[in-house]
Amino acid sequence: MSSEPSDPASERVDAAEALADRLDRPMGFLGVLFLFVFLGQLLVSEPGWSQILGVTGWVFWLLFVAEFILRAYVAEFSSDFWRRNWWQVVFLLIPFLRFVRALQAVRALRVARVARVGGIVSAGVRGSRSAGRLLSSRIGWLAAVTVVVVLASSQLLYAFESQTDYTTALFEAALATITGTGITTEDPFSQVMKLVLAVYSVAVFATLAGSLGAFFLRDEHRPT
């Protein structure tokens, strides 16, 4: 009885995914660190530190790009690989919008703000993925993702100037993420953040309730 021939393209993509699994931990740590580097870039005003953090952020981003290209090379740049990972390409390209300085003359495009906001969202996504890679516990993963959501949403409130003081933005974002309420500003972006964080807080408590319920049920069925 002869076995079915394997698909070489599928094997290459599987090899690329296996490589991603092996790089999970180091890239995960870099992803979490990158979120804090981006936060530093948003807050510092001293030129020396701003330059150091800017260079550090680009070094991290180049490492992310290099990891992605390496995986694409292992997959031999197959169409299946691009179909599976197209969204990563989008997040890797967003920070390069800041180089399109000539378009800043067109006010409607707001390229500088798009680049900053895109960078925050990209850092948040990278940080969330990193938390999933580094933590196997559901509660630990949820706590890590919640920290990432708080950091990203506070940075967005600050970048959109909904709050001009980052400490206040961080406090209100944390309160809204945990309780569903807490953002005091009334501009359109703040209203959107209120809704998004309220939905997230419900998901957090639903997940916690399910995890605690499963824990107590397991204890009840444990033989004495």
Q: How confident is the model at residue 103 (pLDDT cuts 50, 70, 90)?
A: very low
Place of tokens 């444990």: 222
Q: What is the pLDDT of residues 188-205, one digit of tens each?
A: 989 999 999 998 888 877
Place of tokens 């290459």: 12
Highest mean pLDDT among 6-10, 149-153, 168-172: 168-172
Q: What is the pTM of this model?
A: 0.65
Could you tell me which of 129, 183, 184, 179 has the C-alpha nearest to residue 153? 183
3-state helix, strand, coil in the chain (%, to 5): 80, 0, 20
Q: How confident is the model at residue 173 (pLDDT cuts 50, 70, 90)?
A: very high
The region of weakest confidence among 4-18, 95-109, 151-165, 182-196 is 95-109
